[in-house]
Structure formats: C-alpha cells, structure tokens
Amino acid sequence: MTINRRHFLGSSAAAAAGLAAPMVKADGHGKPRVVVVGGGAGGATAARYIAKDSKSAIDVTLIEPSRMYYTCFFSNLYLGGFKEIEDIGHSYGTLASGGVNVVHDWAIGVDRDAKTVSLAGGATIAYDKLILSPGIDFVEGAVEGWDVSSQNAMPHAYKAGSQSELLKAQLMAMPEGGTFAMVAPPNPYRCPPGPYERVSMVAHFLKNNNPTAKIIVADPKPKFSKMALFQEGWADNYEGMVDWIGSDFGGDSVSVDPNEMTVTIDGEVTNVDVCNVIPAMKAGRIAELAGVTDGSWAPVNAIDMSTKADPDVYVLGDSSQQGDMPKSGFSANSQAKVCANAVRGALTGSKVYPAKFSNTCWSLIDTDNGVKVGATYEATDEKIAKVDGFISATGESAELRKATYEESEGWYAGITADMFG
C-alpha cells in the first residue's frame, strides 16, 4: 500500500484557517462529502450532527468496523455487576436512518493528496473533509512480557466488548482468596479515573463473592485522577483489599509473564490469578497512517479540531493532542460538536459559532457512591484551555454520593442518545 503524505504542506494553511475558514467548493461532484472514521463518542456524534444539521446538504459516511459498539465508559460498572453487557452495547441503525451512510469496514489508508480513504474491503471513498476519531491503540513493548497476542491471558479490557467479557469471566473464576493484579498505564491515556474506578468495581465484586481475595495495582505514576476520593473509598468500603504500588515504591518497574501468570514489581515476583494489563497508549493507527500524528498523538487546532498537519483532516477525542481536556468520551463528544459546526460552515457556508468545550467524568466507588470531576474549556491560539473546574470532596454525605451516581446514569442515557440518535 502506498500512502502519499503531505507532512509539511498543510501547516501554514491550517494556521491561516482560523475562524474564517473559506467555503470549500465540491468541484466535479454533487454534494460536499465528509468521511468520519471511528464510530465512538467523537465520530458517531460528529457524523450525526453534520447529517442532522446540514439537512442532507452534505454526504456523510461513517466508517466503523463494529456492528455493535460497546462504550468504554460504564464498562467498569459491568465488571462490578451494576450493568449487563447489553446495557453498554449500541448499534448504528438509528444513525443510518438519520442519513449517515454507515460502512462497517476498517479504514486502512488515507491519501491526503487525492483526498481518499481506502478500506480493508477494497473500496476507496473520496472526501472533502475527513474526521478521524479512532480512539486509542497500545504502544508496543510498553509492558515487558505483554503484547496483543497475550491479551487473552492478560486482558486489557480498555476497548470495551469481548475484552470486558473476558476480564469479567476471569474475575468470576478467581479461586477463593486469589490475587487480581492490574498494571496501570502512564499518562496520558484514555479515561484518567478509569483504572481506579475499575479497581473499585473489582473490589465491589470480590467483597460480595470472594472477600479474602486481594488486588495489587502496579502504577508507573506517583499519583492519579481523583486519588484522594478513591483512596478514601477503598479504605472505607474495601479495607485491606487494595494494595496500590505507585512509582515511588517501584510500581514503574513492572514485567509480566502471561504463561506463568506472574507479575514482577520492582524485582519481586508474584503469582496472580487475573492480570489486567493496561499498556501505554497512542492515537488510533489510522491517524498515524494519515500522517497527522507527531509522536504518539495528533496535534490539532483548538478552534475546530483540524490537524496541524492538514486543514481538511480533523482528529477528535482520545487520538488528538489538544491541550487541557482529559481523554474521555464526554470530551470527544464535546469536541465533535465544535468540529461538526466548523466543518458544516466550511462546506455549506452556515454560521460558525465560537468553540465551547466541557467535560465531566463520573466514577462509581461502591453502591450508590458516585464521585465526579469536571471542567469547562475554551479555544486559545495554543490549545484547548481550561476555564473553570470542580471535583467531588472527600467526606461527602451518602445522599450526595447517591445523587452523583444517579446523575451519571442520566448522563449515560444522554450521551448515548446524543451519539447514536
């Protein structure tokens, strides 16, 4: 496969694009065409909003290999027994009925000169604007002893679906008094509180089903998102069950052996029954193939999520390097709506409004014990910059924690309706 890359041509044009993006005339064909790669919180939202708001003036194609999308958010609640796997699965039928051309295939290449995307199935699709929202892939060799061929013995469960079901099955099959290990990822990664909500949900399951079991977390970081809230929650609800080993105590020196089912932390070998390896992350592969990444992520302009490399290629969500927003489904959904407004404006001349972004991450610690962290953001010349924020406090009342959990349930219903229609 030959891929033409225009690494350097796009940058000045991208800088000049700014607010007054020139209207792109779709020459030689009918309607302007938007191709979206990746049907998660960023891509599904962008496709849906462009189709809905352009009222059929723009052809929108969404390329997503999965026919059923399992949200990574709330997949920990499935592990904890608060959700069924069906509760976090979503199909694309409503998006298709809403005018999005949904193609279930893998995008395997982008030719930015010809402005086409090639698919594993052999087709080539032309675009005027390309939106990439491929989530994350794992950095090879990030955890010594682990690679994708080991993901059945030691699941990551950080792309939801079959991996989540596998990890749940392994959790349920743990021997009495057994050991659950997690290798946590280095920054930056998808869903900063995610590994620690997972620890909470695994602890919840074990407390009810296998109360003498232990959880070991090897973490390459000295601290983590909502740390005080989680540590308070673990002490209050799962006393003595969770052993978190941060980088100050050797948590950054980890290797695993999937055949022997051992984890070695700072030279000490431990036999484990389940090992959840969450490796270091990078932008989804197609962003790299499109030549819009710089290092692990794709730098973007905050004003519209266009890449620094090419003003006609946008990157949303986890894969983007945008500034202060955490990599989360909420962030991707927020960025998608700013991007959709800008792309529609560029293609049809519709009004482009100022970018506004927001994010909230809810986490469940135990039954009816929810916490949250959130912020609002704005676009500056340099990045998406934080404006204002909040975080739940330690020692909150049970009533407030219950209300926070119920709010997260409402958010899940809201964002999935916003993504999939």
Partner 1 sequence: MPGSQPEEFSVSAEILALEGDLEYGEYLASECTTCHQADGSANGIPSITGWETEPFVTALHAYKTKHRDNEVMQIIANRMSDEEIAALAAYFKTLEN
For 294, list phi and psi in degrees, rounded to 5.
Answer: -135, 105
Distance CA 339, CA 320 (A): 12
Nearer to partner 1, 211 or 349 (CB): 349
Look up residue 9 and give its amino acid: L
Distance CA 196, CA 188 (A): 15
According to CB under 8 A, which one of 162, 262, 358, 367 is a site residue for partner 1? 358
Interaction between residue 356 and partner 1 (CB under 8 A): yes
Closest CA to 417 of 15, 52, 35: 52
Interaction between residue 321 and partner 1 (CB under 8 A): no
For 21, list phi and psi in degrees, rounded to 5.
Answer: -60, 130
Interactions with partner 1, residue window 370-399 (CB under 8 A): 372, 374-376, 378, 387-390
Shortest spacing between CB 42 and partner 1, in angstroms: 12
Distance CA 7, CA 283 (A): 17
According to CB under 8 A, which one of 115, 168, 337, 401 is a site residue for partner 1? 337
- Computed over its alpha carbons, how large is the radius of gyration of the chain? 22
Nearer to partner 1, 216 or 316 (CB): 316
Look up residue 256 and give its amino acid: V
Interactions with partner 1, residue window 29-58 (CB under 8 A): 49, 53
Shortest spacing between CB 350 and partner 1, in angstroms: 9
Is the peptide bond preceding residue 188 cis, with omega within 30 degrees of 0?
yes
Interaction between residue 84 and partner 1 (CB under 8 A): no
Stretch that binds partner 1, among 190-198, 289-297, 301-309, 330-338 (CB under 8 A): 330-338
Distance CA 143, CA 252 (A): 10
Count of residues engaged in binding partner 1, rule: CB under 8 A: 32
Which residues are CB-neighbours of 405 under 8 A, at least 6 positions away?
362, 364, 368, 369, 370
Shortest spacing between CB 302 and partner 1, in angstroms: 16
Shortest spacing between CB 265 and partner 1, in angstroms: 37
Interaction between residue 418 and partner 1 (CB under 8 A): yes
Interaction between residue 408 and partner 1 (CB under 8 A): yes
Interaction between residue 330 and partner 1 (CB under 8 A): yes
Interaction between residue 296 and partner 1 (CB under 8 A): no
How many helical (H) and strand (E) elements, i.e. helices and strands, does the chain have?
10, 24
Interaction between residue 409 and partner 1 (CB under 8 A): yes
Sign of the torsion angle spanned by Cα atoms 105, 31, 47, 356: positive
Sites of contact with partner 1 (CB under 8 A): 49, 53, 330, 333-334, 337, 341, 351, 353, 356, 358, 360, 372, 374-376, 378, 387-390, 406-411, 413-415, 417-418
